[in-house]
Protein backbone atom coordinates (compact mmCIF):
# COMPACT_ATOMS: atom_id res chain seq x y z
CA UNK A 1 0.00 0.00 0.00
CA UNK A 2 1.48 3.29 -1.07
CA UNK A 3 0.04 5.32 1.75
CA UNK A 4 1.36 5.08 5.31
CA UNK A 5 -1.29 3.83 7.66
CA UNK A 6 -2.42 6.44 10.14
CA UNK A 7 -1.49 5.89 13.76
CA UNK A 8 -2.51 7.14 17.15
CA UNK A 9 -0.02 9.71 18.33
CA UNK A 10 0.62 7.86 21.58
CA UNK A 11 -0.37 5.11 23.93
CA UNK A 12 -2.97 7.28 25.57
CA UNK A 13 -4.49 8.18 22.21
CA UNK A 14 -5.44 4.57 21.54
CA UNK A 15 -6.66 3.95 25.07
CA UNK A 16 -8.85 7.06 25.08
CA UNK A 17 -10.32 6.42 21.65
CA UNK A 18 -10.98 2.74 22.35
CA UNK A 19 -12.45 3.44 25.79
CA UNK A 20 -14.55 6.10 24.12
CA UNK A 21 -15.89 3.47 21.75
CA UNK A 22 -16.65 1.09 24.58
CA UNK A 23 -18.21 3.63 26.92
CA UNK A 24 -21.57 4.69 25.56
CA UNK A 25 -25.30 4.22 25.81
CA UNK A 26 -24.56 0.61 26.74
CA UNK A 27 -22.99 1.80 30.00
CA UNK A 28 -25.17 4.75 30.87
CA UNK A 29 -28.48 3.47 29.71
CA UNK A 30 -28.64 -0.22 29.18
CA UNK A 31 -26.49 -1.49 32.01
CA UNK A 32 -28.36 0.36 34.77
CA UNK A 33 -31.74 -0.77 33.54
CA UNK A 34 -30.87 -4.42 33.01
CA UNK A 35 -29.23 -4.37 36.44
CA UNK A 36 -32.45 -2.96 37.83
CA UNK A 37 -34.53 -5.61 36.12
CA UNK A 38 -32.24 -8.39 37.28
CA UNK A 39 -32.24 -7.18 40.88
CA UNK A 40 -28.66 -5.97 41.17
CA UNK A 41 -26.05 -7.81 43.28
CA UNK A 42 -25.74 -11.26 41.79
CA UNK A 43 -26.30 -9.94 38.28
CA UNK A 44 -23.47 -7.44 38.72
CA UNK A 45 -21.13 -10.25 39.80
CA UNK A 46 -22.03 -12.37 36.79
CA UNK A 47 -21.48 -9.37 34.58
CA UNK A 48 -18.00 -8.86 36.06
CA UNK A 49 -17.23 -12.53 35.43
CA UNK A 50 -18.45 -12.23 31.83
CA UNK A 51 -16.15 -9.26 31.24
CA UNK A 52 -13.20 -11.20 32.66
CA UNK A 53 -13.80 -14.52 30.90
CA UNK A 54 -15.23 -13.40 27.57
CA UNK A 55 -14.66 -9.64 27.26
CA UNK A 56 -10.99 -9.31 28.07
CA UNK A 57 -9.73 -12.23 25.94
CA UNK A 58 -11.78 -11.19 22.90
CA UNK A 59 -10.70 -7.58 23.34
CA UNK A 60 -7.07 -8.75 23.27
CA UNK A 61 -7.81 -10.88 20.20
CA UNK A 62 -9.45 -8.08 18.22
CA UNK A 63 -6.71 -5.58 18.88
CA UNK A 64 -4.15 -8.25 18.03
CA UNK A 65 -5.80 -9.03 14.68
CA UNK A 66 -5.94 -5.33 13.85
CA UNK A 67 -2.39 -4.48 14.72
CA UNK A 68 -0.99 -7.61 13.10
CA UNK A 69 -2.79 -7.03 9.80
CA UNK A 70 -2.79 -3.21 9.76
CA UNK A 71 -6.16 -3.43 8.07
CA UNK A 72 -9.92 -2.91 8.36
CA UNK A 73 -11.96 -5.98 9.40
CA UNK A 74 -12.39 -7.38 5.87
CA UNK A 75 -8.75 -6.83 4.93
CA UNK A 76 -7.55 -8.20 8.25
CA UNK A 77 -9.21 -11.57 7.71
CA UNK A 78 -8.14 -11.64 4.05
CA UNK A 79 -4.49 -11.14 4.96
CA UNK A 80 -4.35 -13.22 8.12
CA UNK A 81 -6.36 -16.18 6.80
CA UNK A 82 -4.39 -16.48 3.56
CA UNK A 83 -3.21 -20.08 3.24
CA UNK A 84 -5.14 -21.18 6.32
CA UNK A 85 -8.06 -23.63 6.38
CA UNK A 86 -11.16 -21.82 5.21
CA UNK A 87 -8.93 -19.29 3.42
CA UNK A 88 -10.94 -16.54 1.79
CA UNK A 89 -14.14 -17.45 3.59
CA UNK A 90 -12.92 -15.82 6.76
CA UNK A 91 -13.38 -12.47 5.04
CA UNK A 92 -17.07 -12.98 5.59
CA UNK A 93 -16.48 -12.33 9.30
CA UNK A 94 -15.07 -8.93 8.34
CA UNK A 95 -18.04 -8.20 6.11
CA UNK A 96 -20.42 -9.14 8.87
CA UNK A 97 -18.57 -6.67 11.11
CA UNK A 98 -18.84 -3.82 8.63
CA UNK A 99 -22.52 -4.57 8.10
CA UNK A 100 -23.07 -4.66 11.86
CA UNK A 101 -21.36 -1.28 12.24
CA UNK A 102 -23.65 0.14 9.58
CA UNK A 103 -26.76 -1.27 11.22
CA UNK A 104 -25.92 -0.36 14.82
CA UNK A 105 -24.92 3.19 13.94
CA UNK A 106 -28.20 3.74 12.09
CA UNK A 107 -30.36 3.29 15.19
CA UNK A 108 -27.82 4.17 17.89
CA UNK A 109 -27.64 7.66 16.45
CA UNK A 110 -31.41 8.06 16.84
CA UNK A 111 -31.18 7.46 20.58
CA UNK A 112 -28.03 9.55 20.83
CA UNK A 113 -30.03 12.35 19.23
CA UNK A 114 -32.49 12.30 22.12
CA UNK A 115 -29.70 13.42 24.42
CA UNK A 116 -29.31 16.63 22.40
CA UNK A 117 -33.01 17.28 22.81
CA UNK A 118 -32.68 16.80 26.56
CA UNK A 119 -29.62 19.05 26.84
CA UNK A 120 -31.60 21.78 25.10
CA UNK A 121 -34.56 21.17 27.40
CA UNK A 122 -32.37 21.32 30.51
CA UNK A 123 -30.48 24.42 29.45
CA UNK A 124 -33.58 26.31 28.37
CA UNK A 125 -35.25 25.59 31.71
CA UNK A 126 -38.16 23.74 30.12
CA UNK A 127 -37.18 20.47 31.71
CA UNK A 128 -37.77 21.95 35.15
CA UNK A 129 -41.41 22.58 34.28
CA UNK A 130 -42.02 19.14 32.80
CA UNK A 131 -40.16 17.22 35.44
CA UNK A 132 -42.35 18.47 38.23
CA UNK A 133 -45.04 16.11 37.06
CA UNK A 134 -44.08 12.51 36.33
CA UNK A 135 -47.08 12.17 34.05
CA UNK A 136 -46.11 15.27 32.08
CA UNK A 137 -42.62 13.88 31.61
CA UNK A 138 -43.97 10.56 30.39
CA UNK A 139 -46.28 12.12 27.92
CA UNK A 140 -43.64 14.54 26.73
CA UNK A 141 -41.33 11.63 25.99
CA UNK A 142 -44.08 9.70 24.25
CA UNK A 143 -44.96 12.65 22.06
CA UNK A 144 -41.33 13.31 21.30
CA UNK A 145 -40.84 9.73 20.15
CA UNK A 146 -43.82 9.77 17.91
CA UNK A 147 -42.90 13.04 16.24
CA UNK A 148 -41.06 11.84 13.13
CA UNK A 149 -39.65 15.26 12.23
CA UNK A 150 -38.02 15.76 15.56
CA UNK A 151 -36.66 12.23 15.51
CA UNK A 152 -35.16 12.75 12.08
CA UNK A 153 -33.81 16.18 12.97
CA UNK A 154 -31.88 15.07 16.06
CA UNK A 155 -30.69 11.89 14.36
CA UNK A 156 -29.28 14.02 11.51
CA UNK A 157 -27.64 16.36 13.96
CA UNK A 158 -25.89 13.52 15.72
CA UNK A 159 -24.83 11.85 12.47
CA UNK A 160 -23.54 15.22 11.29
CA UNK A 161 -21.33 15.57 14.35
CA UNK A 162 -20.07 12.01 13.92
CA UNK A 163 -19.29 12.44 10.24
CA UNK A 164 -17.63 15.80 10.94
CA UNK A 165 -15.15 14.20 13.31
CA UNK A 166 -14.38 11.01 11.40
CA UNK A 167 -13.85 13.14 8.26
CA UNK A 168 -10.66 14.53 9.76
CA UNK A 169 -9.13 11.11 10.24
CA UNK A 170 -7.49 9.13 12.98
CA UNK A 171 -5.20 11.70 14.56
CA UNK A 172 -6.81 15.05 13.82
CA UNK A 173 -10.38 13.81 14.12
CA UNK A 174 -10.96 10.74 16.26
CA UNK A 175 -8.04 11.03 18.66
CA UNK A 176 -8.42 14.75 19.10
CA UNK A 177 -12.13 14.37 19.90
CA UNK A 178 -11.42 11.56 22.37
CA UNK A 179 -8.71 13.54 24.11
CA UNK A 180 -11.21 16.28 24.77
CA UNK A 181 -14.42 14.32 25.31
CA UNK A 182 -13.16 11.52 27.55
CA UNK A 183 -11.66 13.64 30.34
CA UNK A 184 -14.78 15.84 30.35
CA UNK A 185 -16.97 12.75 30.53
CA UNK A 186 -14.96 11.29 33.38
CA UNK A 187 -14.98 14.53 35.34
CA UNK A 188 -18.74 14.93 34.98
CA UNK A 189 -19.32 11.38 36.13
CA UNK A 190 -17.01 11.76 39.12
CA UNK A 191 -18.85 14.95 40.07
CA UNK A 192 -22.16 13.14 39.86
CA UNK A 193 -20.88 10.24 41.96
CA UNK A 194 -19.70 12.69 44.62
CA UNK A 195 -23.09 14.38 44.46
CA UNK A 196 -24.93 11.07 44.79
CA UNK A 197 -22.90 10.28 47.88
CA UNK A 198 -24.81 13.00 49.72
CA UNK A 199 -28.22 11.82 48.60
CA UNK A 200 -30.28 9.73 51.05
CA UNK A 201 -30.49 6.79 48.64
CA UNK A 202 -26.73 6.20 48.41
CA UNK A 203 -26.64 3.41 51.00
CA UNK A 204 -29.54 1.57 49.41
CA UNK A 205 -27.92 1.88 46.01
CA UNK A 206 -24.67 0.35 47.27
CA UNK A 207 -26.52 -2.52 48.93
CA UNK A 208 -28.56 -3.11 45.79
CA UNK A 209 -25.45 -3.25 43.64
CA UNK A 210 -22.99 -5.05 45.83
CA UNK A 211 -24.93 -7.40 48.06
CA UNK A 212 -25.51 -10.46 45.90
CA UNK A 213 -28.53 -12.61 46.37
CA UNK A 214 -28.15 -15.59 44.12
CA UNK A 215 -31.69 -16.76 44.49
CA UNK A 216 -32.69 -13.74 42.39
CA UNK A 217 -30.50 -14.76 39.49
CA UNK A 218 -32.12 -16.37 36.44
CA UNK A 219 -30.61 -18.16 33.44
CA UNK A 220 -31.95 -15.33 31.32
CA UNK A 221 -30.05 -12.91 33.50
CA UNK A 222 -26.78 -14.79 33.08
CA UNK A 223 -27.17 -14.82 29.33
CA UNK A 224 -28.13 -11.20 29.29
CA UNK A 225 -24.97 -10.30 31.21
CA UNK A 226 -22.89 -12.28 28.73
CA UNK A 227 -24.55 -10.75 25.70
CA UNK A 228 -24.19 -7.29 27.11
CA UNK A 229 -20.46 -7.73 27.60
CA UNK A 230 -20.09 -7.70 23.80
CA UNK A 231 -22.15 -4.63 23.23
CA UNK A 232 -20.63 -2.62 26.01
CA UNK A 233 -17.05 -3.40 25.03
CA UNK A 234 -17.72 -2.82 21.31
CA UNK A 235 -16.70 -6.39 20.55
CA UNK A 236 -17.75 -8.78 17.82
CA UNK A 237 -17.82 -6.41 14.86
CA UNK A 238 -14.23 -5.29 14.34
CA UNK A 239 -14.40 -1.86 15.99
CA UNK A 240 -11.54 -2.73 18.31
CA UNK A 241 -9.81 -4.48 15.44
CA UNK A 242 -9.96 -1.29 13.37
CA UNK A 243 -8.73 0.89 16.23
CA UNK A 244 -6.03 -1.71 16.93
CA UNK A 245 -4.81 -1.36 13.37
CA UNK A 246 -3.75 2.22 14.17
CA UNK A 247 -1.86 1.16 17.28
CA UNK A 248 1.88 1.59 17.46
CA UNK A 249 4.07 -1.50 17.63
CA UNK A 250 5.86 -0.23 20.69
CA UNK A 251 2.71 -0.17 22.82
CA UNK A 252 1.44 -3.15 24.80
CA UNK A 253 -1.78 -4.79 23.62
CA UNK A 254 -2.57 -6.74 26.81
CA UNK A 255 -2.10 -3.71 29.01
CA UNK A 256 -4.21 -1.49 26.77
CA UNK A 257 -6.97 -4.12 26.53
CA UNK A 258 -7.11 -4.51 30.30
CA UNK A 259 -7.24 -0.76 30.81
CA UNK A 260 -10.10 -0.35 28.34
CA UNK A 261 -12.13 -3.17 29.90
CA UNK A 262 -11.50 -1.79 33.38
CA UNK A 263 -12.51 1.74 32.39
CA UNK A 264 -15.68 0.54 30.71
CA UNK A 265 -16.70 -1.54 33.70
CA UNK A 266 -15.91 1.22 36.15
CA UNK A 267 -18.02 3.71 34.25
CA UNK A 268 -20.97 1.31 34.06
CA UNK A 269 -20.83 0.77 37.83
CA UNK A 270 -20.46 4.48 38.51
CA UNK A 271 -23.48 5.19 36.31
CA UNK A 272 -25.47 2.71 38.39
CA UNK A 273 -24.34 4.31 41.64
CA UNK A 274 -25.47 7.75 40.43
CA UNK A 275 -28.81 6.63 39.06
CA UNK A 276 -29.82 4.28 41.84
CA UNK A 277 -28.78 6.68 44.58
CA UNK A 278 -30.99 9.31 43.05
CA UNK A 279 -33.89 6.98 42.33
CA UNK A 280 -33.76 5.27 45.74
CA UNK A 281 -33.75 8.65 47.45
CA UNK A 282 -37.43 8.84 46.71
CA UNK A 283 -40.19 6.41 46.97
CA UNK A 284 -40.41 6.27 43.29
CA UNK A 285 -42.00 3.61 41.28
CA UNK A 286 -40.08 2.84 38.13
CA UNK A 287 -42.80 1.86 35.74
CA UNK A 288 -40.73 1.23 32.67
CA UNK A 289 -37.12 0.58 33.45
CA UNK A 290 -35.89 0.90 29.87
CA UNK A 291 -36.96 4.52 29.80
CA UNK A 292 -35.46 5.46 33.18
CA UNK A 293 -32.94 7.72 31.52
CA UNK A 294 -35.51 9.88 29.78
CA UNK A 295 -38.53 9.80 32.04
CA UNK A 296 -37.72 8.88 35.64
CA UNK A 297 -34.34 10.54 36.01
CA UNK A 298 -35.39 14.03 34.97
CA UNK A 299 -38.17 13.90 37.53
CA UNK A 300 -35.86 12.88 40.33
CA UNK A 301 -33.18 15.35 39.31
CA UNK A 302 -35.58 18.15 40.08
CA UNK A 303 -36.43 16.82 43.50
CA UNK A 304 -32.86 17.55 44.47
CA UNK A 305 -30.93 20.76 44.88
CA UNK A 306 -29.39 22.08 41.67
CA UNK A 307 -31.70 20.02 39.46
CA UNK A 308 -31.21 22.14 36.35
CA UNK A 309 -27.43 22.07 36.50
CA UNK A 310 -27.25 18.40 37.42
CA UNK A 311 -29.57 17.35 34.63
CA UNK A 312 -27.79 19.48 32.04
CA UNK A 313 -24.44 18.00 33.06
CA UNK A 314 -25.89 14.53 33.01
CA UNK A 315 -27.23 14.74 29.46
CA UNK A 316 -23.99 16.30 28.23
CA UNK A 317 -22.25 13.28 29.73
CA UNK A 318 -24.52 10.85 27.92
CA UNK A 319 -24.18 12.76 24.63
CA UNK A 320 -20.38 12.76 24.81
CA UNK A 321 -20.27 9.08 25.67
CA UNK A 322 -22.54 8.28 22.75
CA UNK A 323 -20.49 10.45 20.38
CA UNK A 324 -17.21 8.64 21.00
CA UNK A 325 -19.09 5.39 20.29
CA UNK A 326 -20.76 6.56 17.07
CA UNK A 327 -17.36 7.76 15.86
CA UNK A 328 -15.96 4.25 16.18
CA UNK A 329 -18.96 2.72 14.44
CA UNK A 330 -18.53 5.03 11.45
CA UNK A 331 -14.77 4.44 11.42
CA UNK A 332 -15.29 0.70 10.90
CA UNK A 333 -17.41 1.31 7.82
CA UNK A 334 -15.19 4.11 6.51
CA UNK A 335 -11.94 2.19 6.97
CA UNK A 336 -13.45 -0.60 4.92
CA UNK A 337 -14.22 1.80 2.06
CA UNK A 338 -10.78 3.40 2.34
CA UNK A 339 -8.76 0.16 2.40
CA UNK A 340 -10.85 -2.14 0.28
CA UNK A 341 -12.57 0.14 -2.19
CA UNK A 342 -9.62 2.53 -2.42
CA UNK A 343 -11.68 5.62 -1.59
CA UNK A 344 -10.22 8.75 -0.08
CA UNK A 345 -11.12 9.27 3.56
CA UNK A 346 -13.26 12.31 2.87
CA UNK A 347 -15.29 10.50 0.25
CA UNK A 348 -15.57 7.37 2.39
CA UNK A 349 -16.86 9.19 5.47
CA UNK A 350 -19.27 11.43 3.60
CA UNK A 351 -20.73 8.68 1.43
CA UNK A 352 -20.96 6.00 4.09
CA UNK A 353 -22.10 8.49 6.70
CA UNK A 354 -24.84 9.76 4.39
CA UNK A 355 -25.96 6.23 3.59
CA UNK A 356 -26.20 5.38 7.30
CA UNK A 357 -28.00 8.64 8.01
CA UNK A 358 -30.63 7.88 5.36
CA UNK A 359 -31.02 4.27 6.49
CA UNK A 360 -31.36 5.47 10.09
CA UNK A 361 -34.42 7.50 9.16
CA UNK A 362 -36.29 4.20 8.99
CA UNK A 363 -35.53 3.64 12.66
CA UNK A 364 -36.21 7.25 13.56
CA UNK A 365 -39.73 7.16 12.18
CA UNK A 366 -40.45 3.61 13.28
CA UNK A 367 -40.98 4.87 16.81
CA UNK A 368 -43.91 6.95 15.68
CA UNK A 369 -47.36 6.00 16.84
CA UNK A 370 -45.84 3.96 19.60
CA UNK A 371 -47.99 5.64 22.14
CA UNK A 372 -47.61 3.11 24.91
CA UNK A 373 -43.82 3.04 24.89
CA UNK A 374 -44.04 -0.55 25.88
CA UNK A 375 -42.27 -1.68 22.75
CA UNK A 376 -39.24 0.48 23.25
CA UNK A 377 -36.72 -1.92 24.50
CA UNK A 378 -33.44 -0.60 23.42
CA UNK A 379 -30.61 -2.98 22.72
CA UNK A 380 -31.38 -6.55 22.13
CA UNK A 381 -34.57 -7.13 23.99
CA UNK A 382 -37.35 -7.38 21.58
CA UNK A 383 -37.94 -8.03 17.94
CA UNK A 384 -41.33 -6.43 17.93
CA UNK A 385 -40.60 -2.73 18.05
CA UNK A 386 -40.64 -1.98 14.33
CA UNK A 387 -37.50 -1.31 12.33
CA UNK A 388 -35.71 0.12 15.35
CA UNK A 389 -36.30 -2.90 17.56
CA UNK A 390 -35.72 -5.43 14.81
CA UNK A 391 -32.35 -4.02 13.79
CA UNK A 392 -31.26 -3.81 17.37
CA UNK A 393 -32.44 -7.33 18.07
CA UNK A 394 -30.53 -8.67 15.07
CA UNK A 395 -27.35 -6.78 15.84
CA UNK A 396 -27.18 -7.40 19.59
CA UNK A 397 -28.46 -10.95 19.71
CA UNK A 398 -27.09 -12.34 16.49
CA UNK A 399 -24.43 -10.33 14.72
CA UNK A 400 -22.25 -9.41 17.70
CA UNK A 401 -22.22 -12.83 19.40
CA UNK A 402 -21.72 -14.67 16.10
CA UNK A 403 -18.97 -12.22 15.09
CA UNK A 404 -17.36 -12.57 18.50
CA UNK A 405 -17.48 -16.36 18.37
CA UNK A 406 -15.84 -16.42 14.94
CA UNK A 407 -13.19 -13.91 16.00
CA UNK A 408 -12.38 -16.04 19.05
CA UNK A 409 -12.25 -19.24 17.00
CA UNK A 410 -10.10 -17.70 14.31
CA UNK A 411 -7.61 -16.24 16.76
CA UNK A 412 -7.53 -19.29 18.99
CA UNK A 413 -7.48 -22.06 16.45
CA UNK A 414 -6.26 -20.66 13.12
CA UNK A 415 -3.97 -17.71 13.60
CA UNK A 416 -1.21 -19.80 15.12
CA UNK A 417 0.32 -19.78 18.53
CA UNK A 418 3.59 -18.18 17.50
CA UNK A 419 2.01 -15.33 15.56
CA UNK A 420 -0.24 -14.45 18.51
CA UNK A 421 2.58 -14.68 21.00
CA UNK A 422 4.87 -12.52 18.92
CA UNK A 423 2.27 -9.80 18.44
CA UNK A 424 1.19 -9.76 22.07
CA UNK A 425 4.73 -9.61 23.38
CA UNK A 426 5.70 -6.86 20.96
CA UNK A 427 5.67 -3.64 22.98
CA UNK A 428 4.97 -5.61 26.14
CA UNK A 429 7.82 -8.02 26.79
CA UNK A 430 7.50 -11.69 27.82
CA UNK A 431 4.01 -12.61 28.96
CA UNK A 432 4.84 -15.64 31.06
CA UNK A 433 1.79 -17.48 32.46
CA UNK A 434 -0.59 -14.85 31.10
CA UNK A 435 -0.17 -16.15 27.55
CA UNK A 436 -1.31 -19.74 28.15
CA UNK A 437 -4.17 -18.39 30.26
CA UNK A 438 -5.30 -16.13 27.43
CA UNK A 439 -4.94 -19.01 24.93
CA UNK A 440 -7.16 -21.18 27.07
CA UNK A 441 -9.77 -18.45 27.42
CA UNK A 442 -9.84 -17.61 23.73
CA UNK A 443 -9.80 -21.23 22.51
CA UNK A 444 -12.19 -22.84 24.98
CA UNK A 445 -13.86 -20.67 27.59
CA UNK A 446 -14.97 -17.71 25.46
CA UNK A 447 -16.29 -19.83 22.55
CA UNK A 448 -18.18 -22.06 24.98
CA UNK A 449 -19.81 -19.09 26.70
CA UNK A 450 -20.68 -17.33 23.47
CA UNK A 451 -21.91 -20.59 21.99
CA UNK A 452 -24.32 -20.78 24.93
CA UNK A 453 -25.74 -17.34 24.12
CA UNK A 454 -26.26 -18.28 20.49
CA UNK A 455 -27.91 -21.60 21.29
CA UNK A 456 -30.19 -19.89 23.77
CA UNK A 457 -31.20 -17.30 21.19
CA UNK A 458 -31.92 -20.08 18.74
CA UNK A 459 -34.03 -21.87 21.30
CA UNK A 460 -35.73 -18.59 22.07
CA UNK A 461 -35.04 -19.09 25.73
CA UNK A 462 -33.12 -15.93 26.28
CA UNK A 463 -35.74 -13.36 26.92
CA UNK A 464 -39.30 -14.02 27.72
Which of 169/403 has CB closer to ligand PFF?
403
Radius of gyration of the chain (CA): 21
231 binds ligand PFF, rule: CB under 6 A? yes
21 binds ligand PFF, rule: CB under 6 A? yes
232 binds ligand PFF, rule: CB under 6 A? yes
103 binds ligand PFF, rule: CB under 6 A? no
Count residues near ligand PFF (CB under 6 A): 16
Among 54, 56, 74, 104, contact with ligand PFF (rule: CB under 6 A): 104
Which of 140/320 has CB closer to ligand PFF?
320
397 binds ligand PFF, rule: CB under 6 A? no
Which of 101/201 has CB closer to ligand PFF?
101
Contact window for ligand PFF (CB under 6 A) among 37-45, 56-64, 231-239, 449-457:
231-239
66 binds ligand PFF, rule: CB under 6 A? no
**Pick from 224, 122, 160: which is nearest to 353 by CA?**
160
360 binds ligand PFF, rule: CB under 6 A? no
> Cβ 328 to ligand PFF, closest distance in Å?
5
Among 17, 18, 25, 165, contact with ligand PFF (rule: CB under 6 A): 25
26 binds ligand PFF, rule: CB under 6 A? yes
> Cβ 221 to ligand PFF, closest distance in Å?
19
34 binds ligand PFF, rule: CB under 6 A? no
Of all residues in this chain, which one has the CB nearest to ligand PFF in the complex? 26
20 binds ligand PFF, rule: CB under 6 A? no
325 binds ligand PFF, rule: CB under 6 A? yes
328 binds ligand PFF, rule: CB under 6 A? yes
Which of 29/301 has CB closer to ligand PFF?
29
> Cβ 424 to ligand PFF, closest distance in Å?
22
**Residues interacting with ligand PFF, by CB under 6 A?**
21-22, 24-27, 101, 104, 231-232, 234, 237, 239, 325, 328-329
Amino acid sequence: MAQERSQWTGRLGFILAASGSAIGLGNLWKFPYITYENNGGAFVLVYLAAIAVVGVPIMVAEVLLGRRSQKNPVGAFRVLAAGKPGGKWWQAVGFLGVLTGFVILSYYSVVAGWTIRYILLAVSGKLAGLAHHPAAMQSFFGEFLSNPWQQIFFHCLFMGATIGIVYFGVGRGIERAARFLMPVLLSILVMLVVYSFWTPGFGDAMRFLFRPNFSELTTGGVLEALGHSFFTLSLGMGAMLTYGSYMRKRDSIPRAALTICAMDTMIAIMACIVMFSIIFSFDFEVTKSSTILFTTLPVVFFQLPGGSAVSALFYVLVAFAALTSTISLLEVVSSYAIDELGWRRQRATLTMGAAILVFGILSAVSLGGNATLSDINFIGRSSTAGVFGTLDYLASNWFLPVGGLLIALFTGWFLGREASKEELEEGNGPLGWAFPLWRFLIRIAAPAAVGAIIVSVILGAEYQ
